Amino acid sequence: MIETEIYVREGVEELAAHYKEVITLLGEDPTREGLEKTPMRVAKAMQVLTRGYTQDPHKVLTDALFEEKYNQMVIVKDIDVFSLCEHHMLPFYGKAHVAYIPNGYITGLSKIARVVDIYSHRLQVQERLTQQIKDCIQETLKPLGVMVVIEAKHMCMQMRGVEKQNAITTTSDFSGAFNQAKTREEFMNLLRRER
């Protein structure tokens, strides 16, 4: 479990002051009992939700880099994704599925999930998030190929706008060996198993 206080960083007081003003502009009284501590709680929460700006995903991968002659597909699937849409700052959430084909080096499996976590804890759009994860793994591990698929629901579509509760957005990006349809198909078939 991640301890929230670890992520409190510089600027939290100023951020809280802005949230107090937002509450006022929405027509509420930020000094009433139920809202008195809300500006600071929201400021701290936003720092946790955007902690990815203070973390280096490339370093995460290289900290657990091992020489290994394995050159078949490695898949980490069903990685929980929670992010904030940069257009409305509302959450989107779902699953990320990541595959790579090593080229002499592997990384710790948990590090793939950490890369997803770091990029998703920034203001995002799903399309960019998918590409950033793929690019980071490709640039850092230099594998024979990488493929990332993200399936997510967006609160900006569920709570406002079109209000479609069951819409799922799927994005994918790939490189190297995954440019071959056969390799992509193998990955997708492996994802469908036991689901």
**In this structure, is the dihedral angle defined by the CA atoms of residues 28, 29, 33 and 39, taken in order, positive or negative?**
positive
Q: CB of 145 within 8 A of CB of 137? A: no
Task: Give the separation between CA 104 and CA 172, rounded to whole angstroms.
Answer: 25
Active-site positions read 85-88, 126, 154, 156
The single-letter code of the amino acid at 121 is: H
Q: CB of 169 within 8 A of CB of 126? A: yes
DSSP secondary structure letter of residue 73: -
Whose tokens are 């009992």? That residue is 33
Angstrom CA distances, 110 to 6, 32, 116, 155, stand at 20, 44, 10, 27
Task: Give the separation between CA 112 and CA 137, rounded to whole angstroms.
Answer: 8
Task: Tell me the CA end-to-end span of the chain in Å, nearest whole number.
Answer: 26
